[in-house]
Structure 1
Amino acid sequence: MSIKYTQEHEWVRIDDLQAAVVGITVHAQDALGDVVFVDLPEVGKSYGQGEVAGVVESVKAAADIYMPLTGEVVEVNESLRNDPSLANSDPLDTGWFFKIRVADASQLDALLDAAAYDAFTQNA
């Protein structure tokens, strides 16, 4: 299992070569504050890397959720839809947003590992 990060503050966890789980980072949820609503993508819809796939709204702001890798949405987190605060209380586990079938695994090479993401957020 490998986790990579985007400069737009999404994380993607590769569970196997065909599936990836996507969510927002701890840094993102800290910046947003209390999450009150999520607009999750439609299952079966395909997105290119970097395309807007959803929206997260908090008491402070709204932010787009970008697709970290090209792929098709195969599942959304209904628990998050029903309880958006999971994005705050457990952003790296139960607060995941959606799962995708990865179309091009080579795109992982352009994403940040944990050390690079930490350095990026320190300089942001």
Structure 2
Amino acid sequence: MTTKYTEDHEWITVEGDIATVGITVHAQDALGDVVFVDLPEVGKTFDQKEVAGVVESVKAAADVYMPISGQIVEVNEALRDDPALANTDPLAAGWFFKVKLSDASQVDALMDATAYDELLKNS
């Protein structure tokens, strides 16, 4: 299982042709206490970098961008019921949605952990 990151602070893990997507620890730290998430519809197809959802906190609202192109196959209903999971466990229980990859080569262009850490240091 490989984890990659976007410049917009989403993470993605890929297993076979299914990817799980969520927001990074940095993103949830910047947002503060998450109070609402708007998740995409199962079955909907998105292009890479298209807005796929919204996360709202007591401080701000932010778009959740699609790290790769594909079709939504599952959303995290537990997150819809308890948006604070995005704060308490952003890299596991706080995942947002799962997507069936339409172009697996897009994953290769995303940042690994080292490159993402460099992005954070330089921003």
Q: Please, what TM-score do these two structures have when normalized by structure 1? A: 0.98
Percent identity over the alignment is: 68
Q: Give the aligned residue type for 2:7.
A: Q
Q: Please, what TM-score do these two structures have when normalized by structure 2? A: 0.99
Secondary structure in 2 matching 1:116? helix
User: Which residue does the alignment assign to 1:41?
Assistant: 40
Deviations 1:78-116 (A, max 9, x none): 000000000000000000000000000000121000000
Give matches, 1:76-91, under 5 Å. 76-91=75-90
User: Which residue does the alignment assign to 1:112?
Assistant: 111
User: Which residue does the alignment assign to 1:24?
Assistant: 23
* Runs of 4+ displaced beyond 3 Å: none
User: Which residue does the alignment assign to 2:10?
Assistant: 10
Unaligned runs of 5+ in 2: none
Aligned length: 123
Unaligned runs of 5+ in 1: none
User: Which residue does the alignment assign to 2:73?
Assistant: 74
Secondary structure in 2 matching 1:107? helix
C-alpha separation in 2, matches of 1:13 and 1:2: 5
- 2:95 paired with 1:96: yes
Deviations 1:14-43 (A, max 9, x none): 022x10000000000000000000000000
C-alpha separation in 2, matches of 1:51 and 1:87: 20
C-alpha separation in 2, matches of 1:82 and 1:15: 26
C-alpha separation in 1, matches of 2:78 and 2:53: 16
